[in-house]
Amino acid sequence: MGNADGRRVVITGMGMLTPLGIGVDANWEAIQAGRSGIGPIKGFEDIESFSSRIGGQVDDFNPQDFIDAREVKKMDLFMQYALAAAQLAVEDSGFSVDGDEAFRAGSIVGVGFCGIATIEHYHEVYMKQGPRRISPFFIPKVISNLAPGQIAIRYGLKGVNWTPTSACASGNNALGEAFHLIRDGRQDAVIAGGTEAATTPLGLGGFAAMKALSTRNDDPEGASRPFEKDRDGFVMSEGSGMLVLEERERAIRRGARIYAEMIGYATNGDAYHITSPAPEGEGAARCMALTLEDAGIVAGDVDYINAHGTSTPYNDANETAAIKAVFGDHARDLAVSSTKSMTGHLLGAAGAVEAIYSVLALHQGVLPPTINYETPDPDCDLDYVPNEPRQADIGVALSNSFGFGGTNACILLRKAT
């Protein structure tokens, strides 16, 4: 069913924590300045033993600014990030539910990993002290679905409550499924997004073992360089992005500020390889085309793409090929940028964080740049908004997320009308 046949879904609130800062304003200021949030990883005892020693961490995060101290100890960091971003989004939106409204309002939060830091800690406890020293809060601290669960408990949301876990597509899947539920009349409002806190010794070591990470350790701010010839891998990051999605008439009735409208979503799979994208981005191209179809628009209606753009050789070339396949001659007129050049790769939170940047591009009329773009790659020959933000009055933005296992998810956003 195309968007024209269903209810309209709008975004009324946004909250985020990323390596660029805490809150939407701090993030948008950094994006417009083309500033990188990547630096040497802090907090590892043996960081020098890792081949990749850089990442995007959320500095100055104090969970007790958002969560009661007694509750903090019951939550892994990924849950803390989710609750903090949700609080910022709810405050931004003025969103609340009363009475029976609670049954038609919910939370969907994408998570790539569960509480990996907590698992590492309690594995060590078990090995040294045995099973009796494992905390009764261990399981509630690590299971992914307690990210939306904690949000639902705090805000009294008794509708949908679940967690898509689809690697780096998780955040977009959360947003897209929330959009469809509201559009199709099953929910009226959903707090949706993604969260991740996997920059741990095991997480970093695992990706490093796959040769997936940049090893530009002497130049952290220049390490994430999507679509650029000398890219050598992605940079691990963490944080969270949350958006309040509402049925448009509900938002108007309560006098909410409307940032943008969500108009399309699709998800599919490559069925090709456990980590590599399908040749020429075949699966990604189908996903983008299905998203256009879901929205009831044509390729020429899209003005801007917030690309998955991980800074890995395979992803960037294949995503470029996929964009050309879907948009044809119009691909040359599109602005395409990767905000991962500044944030690094937030894994399961990436889609939600990038959706917020795309909403702001529509709302503010500024296209985020792809920084660190120095030497063009012949296989990546589109307009990547190199190095500097660009003023542009755009109407429709596409945001792409593609993950290991060949999972793809795309969303379409339109300027508020």
Q: Taking a C-beta distance cutoff of 8 angstroms, is the pair 173, 110 a contact?
A: yes
φ, ψ dihedrals at 263, nearest 5°: -125, -10
Single out the residue of 361, 354, 338, 351 nearest to residue 402, CA to CA: 351
- Distance (Å, rounded) from C-alpha 74 to C-alpha 136? 9
Type of residue at 194: G
- Distance (Å, rounded) from C-alpha 96 to C-alpha 102? 9
345 catalytic residue (yes or no): yes
- Distance (Å, rounded) from C-alpha 417 to C-alpha 349? 28
- Active site residue: 180, 287, 308, 410, which one? 308
**b/e code 320-354 from CB counts within 10 Å (16+ = b):** bbbbbbbbeebbeebbbbbbbbbbbbbbbbbbbbb
- Active site residue: 168, 287, 380, 410, which one? 168
- Distance (Å, rounded) from C-alpha 47 to C-alpha 201? 8
Q: Taking a C-beta distance cutoff of 8 angstroms, is the pair 38, 224 a contact?
A: yes
- Distance (Å, rounded) from C-alpha 236 to C-alpha 89? 24
Question: What's the CA angle centered on 276, arms 323 and 265, to 5 degrees?
Answer: 45
- Active site residue: 345, 363, 380, 410, which one? 345
330 catalytic residue (yes or no): no
The set of catalytic residues is 168, 308, 345
